[in-house]
Amino acid sequence: MALDISDGWSLYPLGGNTGTAFMGTKASQKVFLKQNASPFLAALSMEGITPRLVWTKRLASGDVMTAQEWLNGRTLRRSEMREQRVARLLHRVHHSHLLHDMLLKVGGRFTTPAQLLGRLQPALASDLRQHPLIQSAFAALQDEQPQLPKTDYEVCHGDLNHKNWLLSDRRRLYLVDWDAATFADPAYDLGALLCEYVPLEEWQRWLQDYGERLTPDLLARVNWYARIHCLTVIADSFHQQRFQIMNQHLILLEKLTRESVTD
């Protein structure tokens, strides 16, 4: 796609699924450019959750290009997602009044347990729907939907892949790629992250690092959203024929389902 931001900037695609991220250079300047980035990027920048916003420009096409400070660094390794700094930054996201107000202002969507279940059912291949564990897990999820009122929903990132966490050379941690941002139960983010990166025996320790009191209600909600995440990965892995990943999540799903019954 040809983009004209003029003013002498040269653009270099950075890859990715959407093809909307670029490195921009002009003389000695270097910035990270994103086409049609999340509209509350300014609030994220002000909170220090993403790299600093430098400028925003509307293109002749009507698209919007944002430029952020270019930071040398790297994405987090899978093992680093277990660390306290990850938990603490996510807590800041979930409890930021500025992010909440800005996402509300730009018409942020809500994600509810019923919506997640509604998306999940057609995503499961017919072979998977006949699997006894998946049948019982899905039935339990329908019966045990969290009842947190929408007034208690917070800004959730929605895609906490380790590659969306940027550690700068100065050891500053950032969370990027906010295209999936939504209002949801914070346990929506927590369950997905724990499911993917933290051994089950470390979940309570990680949640303590996150900074919330470990009430039975919170633990039950995290368990519920973790099971939803497991089933989503199982469905995707089946379609992609990544059966090792599918089986790993089936084992975790069985443990989480058993745990939800004994709590």
DSSP state of 110: B
Interatomic CA distance for residues 134 and 86, integer angstroms: 31
Interatomic CA distance for residues 218 and 203, integer angstroms: 12
Phi-psi category of 240—alpha, beta or left, where left has phi over 0 and alpha has psi -120 to 50?
Answer: alpha
Helix (H) or strand (E) holding 15: none
Q: What is the pLDDT of residues 13-24, one digit of tens each?
A: 876 656 678 888
Catalytic residue numbers read 159
Q: Is 177 exposed, middle or buried (CB count within 10 Å of its CB: 0-12, 13-18, 19+)?
A: buried
Half-sphere exposure of 229 (CA within 13 A, CB side): 24
Q: What is the pLDDT of residues 45-68, one digit of tens each?
A: 999 999 999 888 887 778 788 888
Q: What is the pLDDT of residues 188-240, one digit of tens each?
A: 999 999 999 999 999 999 999 999 999 999 999 999 999 999 999 999 999 99
pLDDT over 70 at 177, yes or no: yes
